[in-house]
Amino acid sequence: METTEAPTKKYTVWIWILSIIIPVAVAVLFTVKIPGVARMGFLPPIYATINGITALLLITAVYQIKNGNRKLHERLMKTAIVFSVLFLVLYVIYHMTSDSTPFGGEGIIKYVYYFILITHILLSIAVIPFVLITYVRGISGQFYKHRKIARITYPLWLYVAVTGVIVYVMISPYY
């Protein structure tokens, strides 16, 4: 592994391009409905499960690195990234084939739901560059910088994964 800063500099532009393109593409794709395709109502529990698995992968990866198992930590983090991408693909497919489900709860639970949903959405956008920067610093051997930003990335990403499951559980009775 190379330990200079050169590898991260060459990825910086790509990190920012992806950090902008991904949320914009998701927002645009939300407006697209695929004609003639049946509603894919089976997807929400699948992508909620993927969010839950991602949360477990993140927790396990942190445990592994704290116990000195760098190789397993790296594998778990790569798997968490793959699961996050898989979640995003299934989430977009669902919304391209199905109308959004309105939350049917009333009273205080409605405000709790929307608070969790809005923070989940905003942080899912904000975490993208953090995940990418953290990953590049790790694979390029810049472990001091990797640890420094991972202390921010980890709780953000874990919050997004866990609240994704919570949002699903809260809205599932209204599907």
162 within domain boundaries? yes
pLDDT single digits (tens) 60-116: 999 999 999 999 999 999 999 999 999 999 999 999 999 888 999 999 999 999 999
| Domain CATH for 133 | 1.20.120.80
Based on the structure, what is the number of domains in the chain? Answer: 1
Calpha distance 38→167 (Å, rounded): 24
**Mean pLDDT over the full length of the chain:** 94
Residue 80 belongs to what domain range? Answer: 41-174
**Within a domain: residue 145?**
yes
**In which band, very low, low, confident or very high, does the pLDDT at 1 lie, cut at 50, 70 and 90?**
very low
| Residue 95 placed within a domain | yes
Query: Would 126 be classed as within a structural domain?
Result: yes
Write out pLDDT tens, residues 118-139.
999 999 999 999 999 999 999 9
Q: What is the pLDDT confidence band of residue 2, given thresholds at 50, 70 and 90?
A: very low
pTM as predicted: 0.91
Q: Is residue 8 part of a domain?
A: no
pLDDT number for residue 7: 57
Residue 4: per-residue pLDDT: 52
The position carrying tokens 């991260």 is: 8
Distance of CA 71 to the CA centre of its chain: 22
Give the Cα separation of 149 and 127 in Å (integer).
Answer: 11
Structural domain includes residue 101:
yes
Q: What is the pLDDT of residue 27?
A: 93
What stretch of H or E contains 123?
helix 108-139
